[in-house]
């Protein structure tokens, strides 16, 4: 069963495409960077027309019934918000569109500026898609070890990539993006997804409102992984405003050197400014291998192929379901497994 709302809501270093990537940073970060001017810059899509464009396919994702845990917890009903069905393939589409539209509304983003931010991949894809749809240039900083599928997708949308050190993870990408911005602040509009309130507000107004509507207000528990924390913060605040006793549980990787792309181990990471640890009723520490196994099980047994972070969220859901015995648990399936076919999550299952 899938529920869909009816209301409105808002490895190795390698190049993805010639002239659109920067594999290293010279002493002066801007020196030697390649430009990718759009040969035919599309006219700006006015706000009133945006829902008739690809941007209209962002939001209002279905809520899928997940049956993996019915044997262990028969009294618990589990739903997964199918965010991989957004236009750009992940939950990050919502925040990217919101932050860009907020930038336009404030006057901080104009067509003579380049959208710049750090990303582990999904937000970058979302920026690239929205930028292509609205006629903005986009430059993204991401670790070299993000999946090839993410790199290729970003390049396909015409965005430029700056690679940061894989060993420094998302924190290294943050530092490089900040350095680029500080060197040429008049060149860029930097949404700064880790510190932009538009990130969590996209989920307060959209994702959280949809979950409440799609469950007819019956949701008792919400479980979500932490990356920028925007999804967890926004949805939690919305559900709590609807009913104060909804239990909200965050999920983090169990150690700093995890294999869960897009997730943050907050004790050892640069903590996002939008993160509010006090919102969580509990926090669970997901192991990488067990998260991979649950993601694979969901694909094999229910035909829903999801990414690393969704496996971690499902691991958290299983822990919660075993504890509570009865309830309605909702989680977020942040992206699809198609972005991880070249890596360990699914690739090793046929090799």
Q: What positions carry a catalytic annotation? A: 92, 309
How many angstroms from the chain centroid is the CA of residue 316? Answer: 18
d(CA 343, CA 273): 31
d(CA 196, CA 301): 38
Tokens of 73: 């917890």
User: Under a CB-based contact definition with an 8 Å cutoff, are residues 315 and 227 in contact?
Assistant: no
In whole angstroms, how far apart are CA 46 and each of 59, 135, 189, 341? 19, 11, 19, 37
The phi-psi region of residue 19 (left if phi > 0; otherwise alpha if psi is between -120 and 50; otherwise beta) is left
Pairing between β-strand 247-253 and β-strand 221-225 as defined by DSSP bridges: parallel
Enter the DSSP assignment of 336: B
């Amino acid at each position: 069963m899938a529920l869909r709302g009816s209301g409105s809501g808002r490895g190795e270093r390698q190049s993805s495409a010639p002239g659109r990537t920067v594999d290293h940073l010279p002493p002066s970060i801007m020196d030697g960077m390649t430009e990718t001017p759009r040969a035919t810059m599309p006219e700006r899509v006015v706000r009133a027309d945006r829902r008739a464009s690809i941007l209209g396919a962002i939001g209002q994702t279905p809520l899928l019934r997940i049956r993996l845990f019915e044997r262990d917890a028969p009294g618990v009903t589990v739903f997964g918000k199918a965010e991989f069905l957004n236009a750009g393939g992940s939950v990050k589409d919502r925040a990217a569109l919101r932050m860009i539209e907020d930038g336009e509304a404030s006057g901080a983003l104009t067509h003579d500026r380049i959208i710049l931010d750090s990303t582990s991949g999904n937000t970058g894809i979302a920026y690239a898609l929205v930028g292509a749809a609205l006629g903005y240039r986009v430059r993204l900083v991401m670790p070299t070890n993000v999946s090839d599928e993410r790199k290729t997708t970003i390049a396909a949308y015409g965005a430029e990539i700056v690679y940061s050190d894989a060993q420094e993870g998302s924190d290294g990408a943050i530092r490089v993006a900040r350095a680029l911005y500080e060197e040429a602040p008049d060149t860029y509009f930097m949404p700064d997804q880790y510190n932009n309130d538009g990130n969590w507000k996209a989920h307060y107004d959209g994702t959280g409102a949809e979950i409440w509507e799609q469950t007819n207000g019956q949701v008792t528990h919400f479980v979500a992984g932490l990356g920028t924390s925007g999804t967890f913060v926004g949805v939690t605040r919305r559900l709590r405003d609807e009913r104060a006793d909804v239990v909200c549980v965050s999920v983090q990787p169990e150690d700093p050197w995890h294999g869960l792309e897009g997730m943050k181990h907050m004790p050892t990471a640069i903590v996002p400014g939008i993160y509010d640890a006090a919102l969580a009723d509990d926090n669970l520490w997901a192991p990488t291998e067990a998260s991979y196994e649950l993601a694979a099980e969901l694909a094999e047994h229910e035909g829903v192929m999801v990414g690393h972070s969704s496996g971690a969220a499902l691991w958290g859901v299983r822990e919660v379901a075993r504890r509570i015995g009865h309830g309605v648990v909702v989680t977020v399936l942040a992206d699809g497994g198609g972005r991880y076919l070249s890596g360990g999550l699914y690739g090793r299952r046929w090799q």
